[in-house]
Copies of this chain bind each other. A is one copy, B any other.
Amino acid sequence: MEDNKRGAAAAAEELPGGRALPKTGKSEQTRAVILDTAMRLFRERGYDKTTMRAIATEAGVSVGNAYYYFESKEFLIQGFYDQMTHEHARAAAVRMEGVRDFAERLDIALTAWLDCAAEYHEFAAQFFRTAADPDSSLSPFSNESHPARATAVALFRDVLMDSDLAPKLDAELTELLPDLLWLHLMVVVLYWVFDRTPDTARTREFVRRSTPLTARVIALSRYRAFRPLVRDAKGLIQDFILPTIGRTPLPDRPTSTPAPTSRRRKPRKSAT
């Protein structure tokens, strides 16, 4: 990491959002103007067609000023993502009210995301592209302190906990599932990004069909016959998936299954 792509240009250490919290409330307004202008232009013209010069001009500031508040053009996306995540959490909570069926709650939560993100479809493709870059601090996978993800995971915890399924599951699974459901959302997002049908109808249908299946798999996991399978799957997820996305679940349990299916040495050929 000796030659960082962006080496903390300003004194920005607080948020990955671009800069530290300013003291005066004045500059926060400038920041907001720039962000709002950028979002509008992204919506209107798309990400690539919107130049930093255009954003600055439309916002009534200089281009350098935009870079004072946002480390790069990509960091403007972060602003969008944070904003949308909160909007999604609110919308989903409202729509789920009263619904107990787990599959239906999950469906509502995912569909709510599609609705929130709808008008940014074109532009969000660019966002996803950025998310796939491990060097970018915007990536929801690699950046552990991504605040938006915590919000999203909390939403899925609610999806589960207020459903009829929650009391039937053991504690461990309850601990794991919110993150897994968030991964489910990531899969849906991936599908959505590539979806070109009007109103992303295909993705909506995909959600409608996949959620009952997810619910069924989770419900099945309680049965005796799957214990070994479920146990191994849980281990895999705990040891390899969750740490990657910045979680250390079940801290009271010291790395179970030390040598999983040991001995099974393969002839590791030496290149060429």
A residues near B, CB below 8 A?
A: 5, 48, 91, 94-95, 104, 107-108, 111, 115, 125-126, 128-135, 139, 141-142, 190-191, 193-194, 196, 202, 205-206, 209-210, 212-213, 216-217, 220, 225, 229, 232-233, 235-236, 239-240, 244, 260-261, 264, 266-269, 271
Contacts and interface: CB of A to CB of B under 8 A. Distances in A.
Given A115-B271, A132-B128, A271-B115, A213 B232 contact: yes
Given A240-B206, A266-B107, A194 B229 contact: no
A266 to B, nearest CB: 6
Contacts of A196: 134
Count this chain's copies in the assembly: 2
From DSSP, what is the main secondary structure of chain A's interface residues? helix
A97 to B, nearest CB: 11
A84 to B, nearest CB: 14
A233 B205 contact: no
Contacts of A216: 229, 232
A220 B271 CA distance: 35
